[in-house]
Amino acid sequence: MSDRYGREGRILYGRRRGKPLRKGQQRLIETRLPELTIPLDRGQLESSSLFPENCREYWLEIGFGSGEHLARQADNNPDVGIIGCEPYLNGVATLLSKLEEQSATNVRLHNEAAELLIDKLPDASLNRAFILFPDPWPKTSHNKRRFVSTSNIAALARVLKTGSELRIATDHADYGAWILWHMLQSKEFIWEAEKPEDWQFRSSDWPSTRYEMKAIEKGLRPVYYRFRRR
Q: How many other β-carbons are positioned within 10 Å of the β-carbon of residue 100?
A: 13
Helices (H), the chain: 23-36, 68-76, 89-102, 114-118, 150-159, 173-185, 197-200, 210-217
* SS3 state of residue 180: helix
Residue from 189, 45, 171, 167 nearest 116 by CA: 45
Between β-strands 57-62 and 126-132, what pairing exists: parallel, antiparallel or unpaired? parallel
Q: Is 229 left (phi over 0), alpha (psi -120 to 50) or beta?
A: beta
Annotated catalytic residue: which of 75, 135, 174, 205? 135
Q: How many other β-carbons are positioned within 10 Å of the β-carbon of residue 205?
A: 9
Report the distance separating Cα 135 and Cα 133, nearest Å.
7
Contact of 39 with 109, CB cutoff 8 Å: no
Answer yes or no: 119 catalytic: no
Residues with a known catalytic role: 135
